[in-house]
């Protein structure tokens, strides 16, 4: 399944409705661009100037910040044109965000409508202190417009919730985010960081390799497919010495590939066990094909969520390899230490800062710049959310004006939520008053 496509079989299935129906998410998509050293092409925004305002420039959405901490290149610009008196793109100032001008701001995929704070459902009830850690992370790699606010954000880390809320209302302007056609309803899904058992040495049930990138892996050209990597002895010879660890379950290994990052309880040869992170390093540049789609197309399941796919795999162990080979894309990882403070942090997202469970989201960066505080409202059969979150990540299937992927955290409970969460969404961007 191509990212963003949907499937109908006893219901509608989005490409993001479960970990198995979407390509690897967040950090990996960004680091892929970093690893290939590909430059960002600017998006030319076709637009018309706002009434009574001079022609303006449009600053492209903040460039990608990679997980290794390098700074992005300066964002390119595109000049708008059009007749006076017509609605144009968001009027973006030199800091990369909308200026404090009246009226609706229309951009590439979204338009921002200024509203009153009272229009934000649940605004007075959110536990602001729970979101402040994500605020502090934002200030490690702030979007330029937020740089002047970061000293105050740090000072308010020890303040009470009401003081934090009052400060936000004083310094920020809420904007309702809509699609260009005025639709303010979108889709919320979720992602997580799986936790696997692994061993440094093959054996005792640990038979599935997790590889680091091989020497000479092409930066842009397709390499061998998943099936070739796992079955061709000549290809495996090129991967000799590149095994980071061995895991037990090939389906769980696929989950790791799809999520793009994970935690590993690693059993060392000396008998010790330690926790490490497997961070995205590269791919084989093959197209992603959903294993959920593979099962649906063959009429093998009607439930392409994680529980449905897992149940099918347990009942059909002889066909699991065939299913996995239906996705030619393969992900390579790097090992990172996970101790001390890092053990309590999520993986680094596209903004270049660690994600905060329950307070970080992946967004379409042509709709919402990285580092933007966002008020998120979602109500459905799985969970009710009215909370402050930070736009700190992206994913190839996260496309659209009102679209977000909610970082649930790590482990089984987070995975259970991520696999089930697919419900309606409304978003408000909170931008500095200028």
Convert the pLDDT of each residue in 194-250 to its tens digit.
999 999 999 999 999 999 999 999 988 999 999 999 999 999 999 999 999 999 999
The answer to the question of residue 328 being in a domain is yes
The answer to the question of residue 30 being in a domain is no
The answer to the question of residue 324 being in a domain is yes
The answer to the question of residue 257 being in a domain is yes
The answer to the question of residue 296 being in a domain is yes
Question: Which whole number is the average pLDDT over 8-37?
Answer: 38
The answer to the question of residue 212 being in a domain is yes
What would the DSSP string read from start to end of 401-427? TTEEEEEEEESHHHHHHHHH-EEEEEE
Residue 1 C-alpha from the chain's centroid: 19
Q: Are strands 195-199 and 261-267 parallel, antiparallel or unpaired?
A: parallel
Q: Which DSSP category does 344 fall into?
A: G
Q: What's residue 26's pLDDT? A: 43
Residue 209 C-alpha from the chain's centroid: 25
Residues spanned by the domain of 243: 194-344
**Which has the higher per-residue pLDDT, 132 or 43?**
132
What pTM was estimated for this model as a whole?
A: 0.74
Question: Which whole number is the average pLDDT over 45-74?
Answer: 33
**In this structure, what CATH number is given to the domain that contains residue 294?**
2.40.240.50
The answer on pLDDT for 155 being more than 70 is yes
Q: What's residue 21's pLDDT? A: 44
**SS3 category, 329:** coil
Q: How many domains does the chain have?
A: 1
The answer to the question of residue 402 being in a domain is no
Among residues 316, 393, 396, 403, the alpha carbon closest in space to that of 361 is found at: 393
Element (H, E) at 164: helix 161-171
The answer on pLDDT for 193 being more than 60 is yes
**SS3 category, 217:** coil
Q: Is-contact 137 350, C-beta < 8 A?
A: no
Q: Is 172 exposed, middle or buried (0-12, 13-18, 19+ CB in 10 A)?
A: middle
Q: Is the dihedral of CA 354, 358, 362, 364 positive or negative?
A: negative
CA distance 309 to 315: 10
First to last CA, the chain: 44
Residue 177 C-alpha from the chain's centroid: 19
Residues composing the chain = 434
The answer on pLDDT for 58 being more than 50 is no
Q: Is-contact 143 97, C-beta < 8 A?
A: yes
Compute CA distances 204 → 193, 201, 246, 274, 350, whole Å: 25, 9, 10, 18, 37
């Amino acid at each position: 399944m191509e990212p963003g496509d949907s499937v109908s079989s006893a219901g509608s299935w989005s490409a993001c409705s479960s970990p198995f129906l979407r390509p690897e998410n967040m950090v990996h998509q960004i680091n892929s661009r970093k690893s290939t050293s590909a430059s960002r092409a600017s998006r030319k925004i076709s637009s018309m100037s706002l009434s009574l305002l001079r022609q303006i420039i449009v600053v492209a959405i903040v460039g990608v910040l990679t997980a290794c901490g390098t700074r992005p290149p300066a964002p390119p610009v595109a000049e708008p044109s059009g007749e006076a008196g017509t609605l144009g793109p968001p009027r973006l100032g030199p800091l990369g965000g909308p200026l404090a001008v009246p009226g609706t701001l229309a951009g590439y995929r979204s338009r921002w409508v200024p509203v009153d704070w009272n229009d934000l459902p649940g605004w007075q009830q959110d536990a602001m202190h729970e979101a402040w850690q994500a605020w502090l992370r934002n200030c490690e790699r702030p979007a330029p417009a937020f740089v002047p606010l970061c000293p105050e954000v740090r000072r308010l880390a020890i303040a009470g919730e009401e003081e934090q809320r009052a400060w936000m209302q004083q310094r920020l302007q809420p904007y309702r985010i809509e699609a260009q056609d005025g639709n303010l309803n979108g889709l919320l899904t979720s992602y997580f960081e799986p936790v696997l058992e692994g061993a440094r040495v093959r054996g005792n049930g640990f038979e599935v390799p997790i590889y680091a990138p091989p020497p000479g892996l092409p930066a842009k050209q397709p390499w061998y497919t998943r099936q070739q990597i796992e079955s061709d002895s000549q290809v495996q010879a090129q991967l000799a010495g590149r095994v980071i660890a061995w895991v037990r379950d090939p389906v769980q290994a696929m989950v790791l590939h799809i999520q793009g990052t994970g935690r590993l309880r690693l059993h060392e040869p000396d008998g010790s066990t330690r926790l490490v992170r497997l961070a995205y390093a590269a791919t084989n540049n093959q197209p992603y094909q959903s294993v959920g789609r593979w099962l649906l197309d063959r009429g093998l399941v009607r439930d392409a969520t994680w529980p449905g796919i897992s149940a099918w795999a347990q009942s059909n162990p002889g066909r699991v390899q065939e299913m996995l080979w239906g996705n030619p894309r393969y992900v390579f990882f790097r090992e990172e230490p996970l101790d001390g403070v890092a053990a309590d942090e999520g993986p680094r997202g596209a903004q270049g800062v660690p994600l905060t469970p329950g307070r970080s989201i992946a967004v379409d960066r042509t709709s919402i710049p990285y580092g933007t505080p966002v008020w998120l409202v979602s109500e459905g059969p799985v969970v009710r959310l009215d909370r402050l979150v930070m736009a700190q990540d992206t994913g190839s299937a996260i496309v659209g004006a009102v679209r977000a992927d909610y970082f649930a955290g790590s482990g089984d409970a987070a995975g259970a939520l991520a696999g089930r969460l697919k419900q309606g969404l409304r978003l408000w961007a909170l931008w500095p008053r200028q």
